[in-house]
Amino acid sequence: MAAETAAAQSDAVPSGVSISKNYRRYALGVLLLAYISSYVDRQIMGVVLPSIKAEYALADWQLGFLSGIAFAIFYATLGMPIAFVADRSSRRNIIAWAITIWSVMTAACAFVTGFWTLAFARIGVGVGEAGSSPPSHSMIADLYPAEERNGALAIYALGVYLGTMIAFAVGAFVVTEYGWRAAFLLVGLPGLVIAALVRFTLVEPPRGHSDGKVEQAAGPIEWSQLYAQIGAGFKHIWSDKASFHTIMGVTLISFVGYGGAVWGYSFFIRSFQMDPVDTGVFLALTVGIFGATGAILGGKLADHLGARDIRWGPWIVALAKVVAAPLILVFYLSSMDVALWVYVPVTILGAFYLGPSFALIQSRAPLSMRTTVSSIMLFILNIIGLGLGPQMVGIVSDLLAPVYGVESLRYALLITSFISLWGAWHYYLAGKAMKAAS
């Protein structure tokens, strides 16, 4: 096992060698492509849900299970042991294998025969995606210094919005013209090319390189240390209140965000009677353009204001959520003509949180545990946010259906949206904790 670790580390950049700005940008771009691919494969479920519901006569709670828990439970739990390995070996290689697995399993969704086979395939996608984001966060943190990290991780977070854009735009057209099975094939297979780019064109940055205090990986992979490493990560998060409140905030906001992302396509079709292709194009352009704008703006504002007062890193997120709250209320209670316009500022403000959240967690984690701490954040975020968010919307929609009929989904999304304000409170507390600790 020690020999495997040594071989993996032989691809790392020597600690005395500088990493050029051009390479940093290239590496960030390739990791962004990987993140885009993961979100295309993840969000395609939101586009195919109406077709799958019709073909297999499924209830909303079953659709929520397929798009939430079936994916999230394995995605979240496997992230921690994979991160343990990544903190001791080649993060690059782990990311490449992860992309390969989720791409193959997404393509496999085209050949399912019913609810349970589709659930099994989505579990496979979750297994693959478990190995991508924590190592990517760690590599980016080692490539970019603290004063540029919010912006760099905000650019990485564009994968959420660009991936969702591609899923909606391409998925809606392909589902309409060729069927939902073809959509899974089309979005799954290109990931294999991205996996090759990661494996053969990226190198391992020295751990701690951007902080000027290079540390080597934690040594050979000894599985007996797994629980100790994960336990130390949880202890760090619990003792560092800024990290704790950030993880609480990002989890609650993701609970709302994943519910809206998975069910948004169905909501526009059910409540506004929009054409499926028109819905896909509208969501693709809005989420892709304005979501990306919000992610970059949130990261840049956090870097700029945080240079004057570090509390503004999380506070900019809290402020965005408070400003967005009344707009969300208008969005869900308005006619289509009003709602489509209001959706633009809601999308911009909704995208502020990812870059500052990822950067804060990476900046405060011990160098030898950056991947592990990131995986713990994603474990909590995805079990509650990704796993339960879409599921809860589906359950509430079914409960409201006898009273509100086709509009039950509208009110289910509205009810769950108020949880974002709870998340905003935790970001405010994270800022206070950062000042107290400085």
CATH number assigned to the domain comprising residue 275: 1.20.1250.20
User: Does residue 7 fall inside a structural domain?
Assistant: no
Beta-carbon-side half-sphere exposure of residue 24 (alpha carbons within 13 Å): 19
Quick one: pLDDT at residue 373? 87
Tell me what pLDDT residue 83 has: 79
Is residue 11, in this structure, part of any structural domain at all? no
Total domains in the fold of the chain: 1
Per-residue pLDDT for 14 more than 70?
no
| Other CB atoms within 10 Å distance of the CB of residue 227 | 12
What are the tens digits of pLDDT across the range 144-175?
887 788 788 888 888 888 888 888 888 888 88
What's the distance, CA 201 to chain centroid?
24
Q: In this structure, is residue 74 part of a structural domain? A: yes
Residue 400 has what pLDDT?
A: 95
Q: 1: pLDDT confidence band, cut at 50, 70 and 90?
A: very low
Of 295, 325, 310, nearest to 425 (Cα)?
325
Dist CA 26 CA 28 (whole Å): 5
Residue 5 pLDDT: 43
Of the pLDDT bands very low, low, confident and very high (cuts 50, 70, 90), residue 79 is confident
pLDDT at 196 > cutoff 70: yes
Q: Is the pLDDT of residue 215 over 70?
A: no
Domain membership of residue 430 (yes or no) is: yes
Does residue 13 sit within a domain?
no
Against a cut of 0.85, is the pTM above it?
no
Neighbours of 219 (CB within 10 A): 12
**Structure confidence at residue 255 (pLDDT):** 93
Q: Average pLDDT of the chain?
A: 85
Residue 3: inside a domain, yes or no? no
pLDDT at residue number 211 = 65
Provide mean pLDDT across the span 175-182.
89
According to the model, what pLDDT value does residue 49 have? 83
* Burial class for 212, CB neighbours closer than 10 Å (0-12, 13-18, 19+): exposed
pLDDT confidence band for 235 (50 / 70 / 90):
very high
Highest mean pLDDT among 49-63, 208-222, 343-357: 343-357
Adjacent-strand bridge partners of 215 = 207
User: With bands split at pLDDT 50, 70 and 90, how would you rate the model's confidence at 237?
Assistant: very high
Say yes or no to pLDDT of 97 above 90.
yes
Residue 221 resides in a domain? no
pLDDT given for residue 214 in this prediction: 60
Backbone angles phi, psi at 275, to 5 degrees: -65, 140
For residue 177, the enclosing domain spans 18-211+228-437
Please say whether the beta carbons of 64 and 391 come within 8 A.
yes
**18: exposed, middle or buried (C-beta count within 10 Å: 0-12, 13-18, 19+)?**
exposed
- Name the least confident of 2-11, 75-84, 206-215, 386-395: 2-11
Distance CA 137, CA 358 (A): 7
pLDDT-derived band at 247, boundaries 50, 70, 90:
very high
SS3 275: coil
Is 344 a domain residue? Answer: yes
Strand partners, 204: 12
| pLDDT value of residue 333 | 93
Residue 289 has pLDDT above 50, yes or no: yes
CA 190/CA 10 separation, integer angstroms: 29
Report the SS3 class of residue 409: helix
Distance CA 427, CA 253 (A): 10
Which residues does residue 347 pair with via DSSP β-bridges, in sequence order? none
CA angle centred on 257, ends 255 and 261, rounded to 5°: 120
Instruction: Count other C-beta atoms under 10 Å from residue 327's C-beta.
Output: 15
DSSP character for 224?
Answer: G
Confidence (pLDDT) at 9? 45
The model's pLDDT over 410-422, given as tens digits with 9 standing for 90+, comes to 999 999 999 999 9
pLDDT digits (tens, 9 = 90+) for 29-43: 999 999 999 989 888
Question: What is the Cα–Cα distance from 184 to 112, expressed in whole angstroms?
Answer: 11
Residue 126 pLDDT class (50, 70, 90 cuts): confident
Residue located via tokens 């208008």: 330
